[in-house]
């Protein structure tokens, strides 16, 4: 099955990977002193999928969608989470 090279599909894949991994990380009892670590760790699968999309699969627009969601999400975590 071939993945379409679509920007919107990349945004959806980035959001899905973040959501699923964050759901897994929420099962771990994090303490108060970890702060924003669970949020930032949840972006790791998006970075891995981004690299695979650009290098291995050759899907430029798909990778850009994942990259946009990952960068904007990380900036939101840094600036909005106290």
What does the pLDDT read at residue 1?
62
18-75, pLDDT tens digit by residue?
A: 999 999 998 988 877 888 888 889 999 999 999 999 999 889 999 999 999 999 999 9
Neighbours of 10 (CB within 10 A): 27
Residue range of the domain that includes 50: 7-80
What does the pLDDT read at residue 60?
93
How many structural domains does the chain have? 1
**Domain annotation covers residue 51:** yes
**Domain annotation covers residue 45:** yes
**Domain annotation covers residue 2:** no
**Domain annotation covers residue 70:** yes
Calpha distance 37→25 (Å, rounded): 10
Top pLDDT among 9 and 1 is at 9
**Domain annotation covers residue 1:** no
Q: What is the SS3 string spanning the chain? A: CCCCCCHHHHHHHHHHHHHHHHHHHCCCCCCHHHCCHHHHHCCHHHHHHHHHHHHHCCCHHHHHHHHHHHHHHHHHHHHHCC
């Amino acid at each position: 099955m071939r993945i379409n090279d679509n920007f919107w599909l990349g945004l959806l894949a980035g959001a899905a990977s973040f959501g699923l991994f964050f759901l897994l990380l929420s099962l771990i009892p994090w303490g108060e002193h970890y702060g924003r670590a669970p949020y930032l760790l949840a972006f790791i699968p998006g970075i891995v999928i981004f690299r695979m999309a650009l290098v291995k699969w050759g899907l430029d627009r798909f990778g850009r969608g994942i990259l946009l969601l990952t960068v904007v999400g990380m900036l939101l975590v840094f600036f909005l989470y106290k």
